[in-house]
Amino acid sequence: MGNNFFFSQHHKVCSIMGCILSSESAPEDGGSPPGLNADGEIYVYVPGLRTPKYVDLKEHLQDAISADLASRLQYLRSNVLITSGKNTPASKSRRRKTSQDSPTAADLEKALVNYLPALLGFVAGGEKWTSGLVFEWTNVEDEKKETALGSVYYELLSVLHLLGMLALQEANVRLTSRPPAEGYAPKVTEESKRNAIEILLKAASYFDCALRAVLPNTPEDIKAKLPADLSEPMLIALEHQALGHGVELQLSFAVDNIKASLAVKRRLACEHVQVWKEANERIEHVPLMDGWRKKLFLFLKWKLTEAKAGAYYFHGLILNEGYEENTHAQALMWLKAAHKYLKDSQRIRLEFSTAEPTTKLPIVVPKLPEFPLALIAEPYHLPPVDPAWEKESGYEGIPTLTPDIASFLAKKDPNPKPAAMSDLRRAWPMSPPLLVTPEMVRAR
């Protein structure tokens, strides 16, 4: 049984090992959907970025912190608004920007990274600092999808989420083929692919940080009000999406490497299935109320089906090399399953391109061997609190629930209440302990 059985169908849709690009029609307004370049090619789907709306921090914090610190917070957050394309009241009178002056995704990332240390001190000061202060963010694909919450934990989650989404968007740019030289087909270089893996790991680390360091400290009433974009299942799905793309690129390197064994390729292919399976399972628990999140659901389903085609194919090739009884018959079964998954992935890919969700009954297939995921994102650690907070008087350190966020400054209570008397101190004096005598032992 040769490889032509699968490859005859396999090459009709480019390659199951990655870099399968979906072409979508341009929106009516002439812009591009999130994650797409000007040519309509998509590798990493980004379901809409979220951007902040203007908040007058100086006014709300004038009685809580010093004027200098309030001005610093206002300046750093305003930079985030400006670089995200949102004008603040103070910037509306500026001259119209030229295309050369327009902020880039790198500018927005820098503004967010600069804002994060100051925000951390703000977060740890306690909810009492933000009395009456409401943070508002909106999805750029739907201005009506605004969420306003009076919690700095919501602000911190939103910042980390936006950093992760920007990284996914940058990975898509790196994986988009550049205009070819005359006489050559478009191609994504190996260097671009390796850079994309690093960027995808960075995206995964941002989502992991939100899950590991911020959500456990977020009050339950705020968790219940978080938008679907910031819910725990969505953040987990996005983290696994980033890792899934990374494993897919690793697998593409193995396929192109003549020294890579079938066992190595099968292991990567099985890891590829497991990470997309986890993303699909998590997204099922997210309330999908708009077209962008429904499209993400379809995208994840497509990637999982495509990954299964590759895993079943490589496992079938390994079985085909065996000499035991019925080995070739088993290999044929696996290769037929791979072919079926490939055809299904083509259909779902088309549905993804037209944004029409679909359902399909599962098929009974043999179980793949399981391998632990080898590609792991390096943990992203929140930066130290801005030193400007150390100059504030009348504050004391308080611990947090996770070690990722260090102890912070909170206002000292000018009239601390005395510690309540314990129940032991209220009880009657205890009787003296009983002494055991030799007579008692003999009597026993």
pLDDT beyond 60 at 436: no
What is the arithmetic mean of pLDDT over 403-423?
58
More confident residue, 189 or 236: 236
pLDDT at 177: 75
| pLDDT at residue 168 greater than cutoff 80 | yes
- Rounded to an integer, the average pLDDT of 339-346 is 94
Q: How confident is the model at residue 401 (pLDDT cuts 50, 70, 90)?
A: low
Tell me: pLDDT of 84 over 50: yes
Does residue 364 surpass a pLDDT of 70? no
The alpha carbon torsion through 435, 441, 442, 444 (nearest 10 deg) reads: 120
Cα distances (Å, whole numbers) of residue 104 to 57, 93, 149, 179: 25, 21, 28, 21
- pLDDT > 60? residue 291: yes
At 14-37, the pLDDT tens digits run 333 333 333 333 333 333 333 333
Whether pLDDT at 344 is above 80: yes
3-state DSSP call for residue 419? coil
Per-residue confidence (pLDDT) for residue 47, from 0 to 100: 79
Give the pLDDT confidence score for residue 261 in this predicted structure: 94
Q: What is the mean pLDDT of the chain?
A: 77
Residue 323's pLDDT band (boundaries 50, 70, 90)? confident
Lowest mean pLDDT across 174-183, 188-197, 406-415:
406-415
CA angle, 18 as apex, 17 and 20 as ends, to 5°? 125
- pLDDT tens digit string along 145-159? 788 998 889 999 999
Which is more confidently placed, 430 or 171? Answer: 171
Predicted pLDDT at 25: 32
Provide mean pLDDT across the span 188-194. 91
In this predicted model, which residue has the larger pLDDT, 291 or 443?
A: 291
Give me the pLDDT at residue 411, please: 58
The pLDDT of 109-116, averaged and rounded, is 95
> Which of 124-128, 213-217, 358-362, 418-422 has the lowest average pLDDT?
358-362
Rounded to whole angstroms, the Cα distance separating 189 from 124 reads: 44
Q: pTM for the complete prediction?
A: 0.75
DSSP, collapsed to helix, strand or coil, labels residue 118 as helix
Q: How confident is the model at residue 384 (pLDDT cuts 50, 70, 90)?
A: confident
Question: By the 8 A CB rule, do 320 and 329 touch?
Answer: no
- Tell me which of 230 and 436 has the higher pLDDT: 230
Helix axes 232-256, 291-320, angle to 10 degrees: 40
pLDDT of residue 433: 54
Using an 8 Å Cβ cutoff, are 204 and 377 in contact? yes
Contacts 24+ apart (CB under 8 A), 62-69: 64/125, 64/129, 65/125, 65/129, 65/392, 66/391, 66/392, 68/388, 69/388, 69/389, 69/391, 69/392
- Strands, E, within 290-400: which ranges? 395-398
The proportion of the chain whose per-residue pLDDT surpasses 70, expressed as a percent, equals 66
Give the lowest-confidence range in 151-155, 167-171, 183-187, 371-375: 183-187
Other CB atoms within 10 A of residue 296 CB: 24
